[in-house]
Copies of this chain bind each other. A is one copy, B any other.
Amino acid sequence: MGDAIVTTAKPPQIAIVGGGIVGIILALGLTRQNIPVRVYEQARGFREVGAGIAFSACARRCMELINPAVVDALRRCGAVSISDDDDSDDYLRWIDGYNQHLKDDPTYQKPLSQISGGGFRGCRRDQFLEELEIDVPPGTIEFGKRLEGLEQAKDGRVILSFADGTRAEADAVIGCDGVKSRVRQHLFGTDHEASHPQYTHKIAYRGLVPMDRAIDVLGDWKAHNFHHHVGPGAHLTHYPVANHKFLNVVVFLSDPNPWPDYNNMVAEGTREEIEIALRGWHRTVLDLVKLLPDKMITWALFDLGEFPVPRYNTRNICLAGDAAHASSPHHGAGACAGVEDALCLTALLGQVCATPPPDGDYVRALGAAFETFDAVRRSRTQWLVNSSRRVCDLYHQSEWADPRRWIKAETCFEEIRDRSYKIWQFDADDMVQRTLADFERRLAKESNGGVTVH
């Protein structure tokens, strides 16, 4: 290598499609490095429902590396531990939600397993997004931009066209546009199975219960700490929210039937549906369900697990977050994986800009960067999609209902522990090193005319 090349080449323009949490975090990673970026969001303004979201300690480490402003935003929206105020207790606990194990104590639920180390901090999605946007330079996010088409220009740049008739150009496009991603449809065609969300055959009902009423049913300690109540064909998860003023209760049911329409993932539901599904369950679970409202929303859970995306990149277009690997929520790690993606892309695009090509043509380097992204991220994130389905199936094992199979049922927790640790013990700094090394290898290979350099 000769002396460092001093260049006045303009940095490449990046377009992010989708202004959800992952898109905005990625934008913050790029603007921090002075990389020009535009975010195109189809909604006109607020666009996240008020539901909760939690980030693991390793996702927060990713945020710190992306841009410390992201961690600040999370802190500002009052992110709190999902368990007791005592920070040292961040256990997830699984208890038997079905069987009565002690005849003389009908409130007793058998503890099945507990693990700690996730370090989850939860907050409201809409609040977090609002806080994130404070740090995005004005004019970066364009609202009301519904993507219609992507076209490769002759010079390799990408032309985006929107439903409002406008167009935009960029050196690279990153689709952070969620489970129903238009960018993904563009890459694979609308006929491709991976272009559409896939039903996981699980539905969820969510509700908030005032903490004092929850304590009447669960007792003080259980009400203030995260618990999964597992049983045949269903599980119920609860944890405190809003400074322990409310208990967030989520009931997940297995559903053998198809879901009529992936364009509409919610339906009107009732508490009675839950009560029918949980007939015969432990009294504590049934008493808790009684505290939910009569009318509820049924959330159908979709992912990309049946027909995963073949690859996350095509030339200078790539997919990240749910657009690439939408997951069911059972590991609480879908958004965390998107944050890992954002870190990987932040590192790559930073490197692309740090070494501008002599001819000012970034398209090749961006293509190599996205190749690296696919190589580093696809296997782990598709594993996560599978794993989330798998742990839910283990929670819903029919074995819980058969005393002869209880021993068998409980052997699942070693696997669940391993899967959780794989997610939580992710080494963000190491991923950045692996990413940059892989990218360097690819660039060296390209400049050697395709010969692999070891």
Q: Which residue of B lies closest to A387 (CB)?
A: B415
Shortest C-beta distance, A445 to chain B (Å), equals 20
Q: How far is the CB of A172 from chain B (nearest CB, A)?
A: 24
Q: How far is the CA of A415 from the CA of B385 in the complex (A)?
A: 12
With a cutoff of 8 Å between Cβ atoms, the chain B residues found around residue A380 in the complex are 414
Assembled-state Cα–Cα distance A415/B380 (Å): 9
A97 nearest CB across to chain B (Å)? 21
In contact, B415 and A383 (Cβ under 8 angstroms): yes
How far in angstroms is the closest Cβ of chain B from A277?
Answer: 27
In A300-340, the 8 Å CB interface with B consists of: 305-310
* Interface SS of A by simple majority: helix
Q: Which of A31-39, A256-264, A403-411 contacts B (4 or more CB under 8 A)?
A: A403-411
A306 to B306, CA, bound (A): 27
Q: Which residues of chain B are near A407, meaning CB under 8 Å? A: 194, 307-310
Chain B residues with CB under 8 A of A405: 307
Nearest CB of chain B from residue A198's CB, rounded to whole Å: 10
What residues of B have a CB within 8 angstroms of the CB of A412 in the complex? 386
Decide if A193 is an interface residue (CB 8 Å cutoff).
yes
Q: Which of B308, B404, B414 contacts A411 (CB 8 A)?
A: B308
Chain B residues with CB under 8 A of A306: 408
Closest to A404 in B: B193
**A309-B305 Cα distance, complex, nearest whole Å:** 34
Cβ of A173 to closest chain B Cβ, rounded Å? 22
Identify which of residues 262-305 in chain A touch chain B, using a CB-to-CB cut-off of 8 Å: 305
Which of A308, A385, A387 lies at the interface centre, i.e. has the most chain B CB atoms within 10 A of its CB?
A308
From B382, B386, B414, A383 is in contact (CB under 8 Å) with B414
Compute how far the CA of A371 lies from the CA of B309 in the bound complex, rounded to whole angstroms: 48
Q: Does A186 contact B (CB under 8 A)?
A: no
User: A418: CB under 8 A from chain B?
Assistant: yes
**Chain B residues positioned under 8 Å from A383 (CB to CB):** 411, 414-415
Contact size range, A = 20 to 34
- Interface: A364 (CB within 8 A): no
- CB-CB under 8 A from A379, the residues of chain B are 411, 413-414
Which of B308, B408, B413 makes the CB contact (< 8 A) with A408? B308
Is residue A422 contacting chain B, with contact meaning CB distance below 8 A?
yes
B-chain residues with CB within 8 Å of residue A194 when the two chains form the complex: 407
Say how far A197's CB is from chain B's closest CB, in angstroms: 15
Question: Within 8 Å CB of A310, what residues of B?
Answer: 407
Residues of B within 8 A of A305 (CB): 408
Q: Which residues of B contact A387 (CB under 8 A)?
A: 415
CA distance A185 to B379 in the complex (A): 44
Minimal Cβ-Cβ distance residue in B for A414: B383
- A414-B382 CB under 8 A given contacts A307-B407, A408-B307: yes
From A405, which residue of chain B is reached at the shortest CB distance? B307
Minimal beta-carbon separation of A382 from chain B (angstroms): 4
Q: For A408, give the chain B residue with the smallest CB separation.
A: B308
Interface residues of A in 37-63 (CB under 8 A from B): none
- Distance in angstroms between the alpha carbons of A307 and B411 in the assembled complex: 10
Measured between beta carbons, the chain B residues less than 8 angstroms from A411 are: 308, 379, 382-383, 385-386
**Contact across chains for B422 and A418 when beta carbons are under 8 A apart:** yes
- With A307-B408, A382-B411, A383-B414 known, 17 other A-B pairs at CB within 8 A are A193-B404, A194-B407, A306-B408, A307-B405, A307-B407, A308-B407, A308-B408, A308-B411, A309-B407, A379-B411, A379-B413, A379-B414, A380-B414, A382-B414, A383-B415, A385-B411, A387-B415
Question: Contact residues of A with B, CB < 8 Å?
Answer: 193-194, 305-310, 379-380, 382-383, 385-387, 404-405, 407-408, 411-415, 418, 422
Which 3 residue pairs across A and B have the least CB separation, nearest first?
A383-B414, A382-B411, A379-B414
A-B contacts, 29 listed (Cβ < 8 Å): A193-B404, A194-B407, A305-B408, A306-B408, A307-B404, A307-B405, A307-B407, A307-B408, A308-B407, A308-B408, A308-B411, A309-B407, A310-B407, A379-B411, A379-B413, A379-B414, A380-B414, A382-B411, A382-B414, A383-B411, A383-B414, A383-B415, A385-B411, A386-B411, A386-B412, A386-B415, A387-B415, A418-B418, A418-B422
